[in-house]
Copies of this chain bind each other. A is one copy, B any other.
């Protein structure tokens, strides 16, 4: 007992540039990556997210990124405590999914569960995808990379791929990530539909629309249906926060980061996070027009990415399923002759249709929470002209509302695209 107390009392400290240097100096393998000696290293804090400290350390031989979970929400300060255990779940996710997705995740050099500190590959010259989309950059491989990531990460942790005992052990492990799941439950599926002190929106321009959405019975019931599904359908291990701020890109490379919201849930939740954030980007583009670029070409590119993301995800997931049906769901041994294999194919297609419907519903929930809820996105926040910003946001809200209240109209990506840009 006293050992453990001493240990844990000694262990947690909030890192600063100096203590991080000492920390790295004591990790031979990491020291080797940087090269030289600690006085040769350039270390700086660069975090701009909601929850963590992020350092970059550069040495003569190489550089690393160090992420430390704080015991509170960085965006709110110590008054909003938040267990740093989330870093441990983030690392569980890296370990569980890493072997299946290769270089679509950063390399993890070291994790220290006592100070919730991850030493990882420094991604350079990568930038956060959201910033790239705001700047009007295009990434030709993005949609395929993300589709490949989502397909592999979810398929290989699902009942289609692994014995249920393995999945249940994962479900039990990630059940411990309840503090982060609580954030999603409240900030995605509840607060935006209520008058909550944590909410904000572009006011007064969106006052009427916000009030209208908060009194749309069908919309609220639909959001609640997806909230229930979020809590109850343990289809696969999810990233849990797969928006464009959790992806780092170059024109040739894409990496998924920050899986601290990881848990077992409905696959459509991860798909919807990415899909919905592409839609948010589309609706924000008029706010970033200028300098001879009206952003219509960028919008057209974004719509192509929506199509490509879903179609690639669908075909990759189905191909993985055909080749790796080692799980307990739809046991391969049941479907051997041609008519049985045809029935299995129909069942797989029906499952993919259910993922598509889930993707759209969750995408809509994510869009609404980013405009009416607590945590907003730079895509809109960076639009200085408030009237223009509100117009963009209002159109995004209208689309999200349509997706939630008229799902029967959206049985294909093309139907979504036609609704976004009629014509």
A interface with B by C-beta (< 8 Å): 159, 164-165, 167-169, 171-173, 175-176, 178, 181-182, 185, 189-190, 193-194, 215, 217-218, 220-221, 223-225, 227-228, 231-235, 328-331, 333-335, 337, 339-340, 342-344, 346-347
Contact = CB atoms under 8 A, between A and B. Distances in A.
A342 B232 CA distance: 24
A373 to B, nearest CB: 14
A233 B231 CA distance: 9
A178 B164 contact: yes
A7 B330 CA distance: 43
26 contacts: A159-B231, A167-B231, A171-B172, A172-B173, A172-B175, A185-B328, A190-B328, A190-B331, A190-B334, A194-B333, A217-B335, A217-B339, A217-B343, A221-B330, A221-B335, A221-B343, A224-B329, A224-B347, A227-B329, A228-B330, A231-B328, A231-B329, A232-B234, A232-B235, A233-B234, A234-B234
Contact of A194 (B176, B189, B334): B334
Contact of A224 (B167, B175, B218, B330): B330
Given A172-B172, A231-B167, A217 B185 contact: no
A218 B171 contact: no
A234 B175 CA distance: 12
A385 to B, nearest CB: 33
A3 to B, nearest CB: 16
Contacts of A340: 215, 217, 220
A225 B221 CA distance: 26
A194 B333 CA distance: 8
Contacts of A165: 178, 182
Contacts of A335: 217, 220-221
Contact of A175 (B171, B215, B343, B344): B171
A268 to B, nearest CB: 13
A220 B332 CA distance: 11
Contact of A164 (B168, B221, B231): B231
Contacts of A189: 328, 331
Contacts of A329: 224, 227-228, 231-232
B330 A159 contact: no
A221 B178 contact: no
A347 B182 CA distance: 23
A334 B225 CA distance: 12
Given A190-B331, A215-B340, A329-B227, A221 B175 contact: no
Given A217-B343, A344-B221, A227 B330 contact: yes
A198 B190 CA distance: 49
Nearest to A176: B172
A342 B217 CA distance: 8
Contacts of A330: 221, 224, 227-228
A354 to B, nearest CB: 11
A199 B346 CA distance: 28
Contacts of A342: 217
A215 B176 contact: no
A225 B347 contact: yes
A185 B164 contact: yes
Contacts of A169: 175
A220 B215 CA distance: 45
A232 B233 contact: yes
A194 B336 CA distance: 10
B231 A334 contact: no
Contacts of A164: 178, 181-182, 185, 231
